[in-house]
Amino acid sequence: MTIAVTAATGHLGRLAIAALKARGAQPIALARSPEKAADLGVETRAFDYTTADPAALKGVETLVLISSNDFNDRVGQHRKAISAAKAAGVKRILYTSILKGEANPMILAQDHIGTEAALRDSGLVATILRNGWYTENYTGALGAAVQHGSIIGAAGEGRVNSAARKDYAEAIAVTALDAAHAGKTYELAGDVAHTGADLAAAVAKAAGKPVAYVSMPQADYAQALLGFGLPEGFAAVLADSDAQAGKGALADDSRTLSRLIGRPTTPIAETIAAAL
Measured CA to CA, the distance from residue 83 to residue 228 in angstroms comes to 39
Average pLDDT of the residues in 141-151? 92
Q: What is the pLDDT of residues 1-19, one digit of tens each?
A: 899 999 999 999 999 999 9
Average pLDDT of the residues in 192-205? 97
- Chain mean position to CA 186: 13
Q: What is the pLDDT of residues 17-44, one digit of tens each?
A: 999 999 999 999 999 999 999 999 999 9
Average pLDDT of the residues in 260-274? 97
In the predicted structure, residue 121 carries a pLDDT above the cut 90: yes
pLDDT score of 1: 85
Q: What is the pLDDT of residues 164-176, one digit of tens each?
A: 999 999 999 999 9
pLDDT score of 153: 96
Measured CA to CA, the distance from residue 106 to residue 160 in angstroms comes to 14
In the predicted structure, residue 192 carries a pLDDT above the cut 90: yes
Overall fold of domain 3-132+164-188+253-265? Rossmann fold (3.40.50)
Q: How buried is 229 (Cβ within 10 angstroms: 0-12 exposed, 13-18 middle, 19+ buried)?
A: exposed
- For residue 160, name the pLDDT band (cuts at 50, 70, 90): very high
CA distances from 37 to 10, 46, 48, 53, 143 (A): 9, 10, 14, 18, 29
pLDDT score of 265: 98
pLDDT score of 88: 98
Average pLDDT of the residues in 233-243? 95
- Can you list the pairs that 236-242 forms with residues at least 24 positions away whose Cβ atoms lie under 8 Å? 236/107, 237/71, 237/107, 237/108, 239/154, 240/106, 240/107, 240/108, 241/106, 241/107, 241/108, 242/153, 242/154, 242/155, 242/218
Cβ count near 193 (within 10 Å): 18
In the predicted structure, residue 70 carries a pLDDT above the cut 90: no
pLDDT score of 152: 96
- For residue 72, name the pLDDT band (cuts at 50, 70, 90): confident
* Type of residue numbered 260: L
Q: Percentage of the chain with pLDDT > 70?
A: 100
pLDDT score of 20: 98
To the nearest 10 degrees (0 to 180), the angle between helices 109-122 and 74-88 is 20
In the predicted structure, residue 140 carries a pLDDT above the cut 90: no
In the predicted structure, residue 141 carries a pLDDT above the cut 90: no
pLDDT score of 157: 97
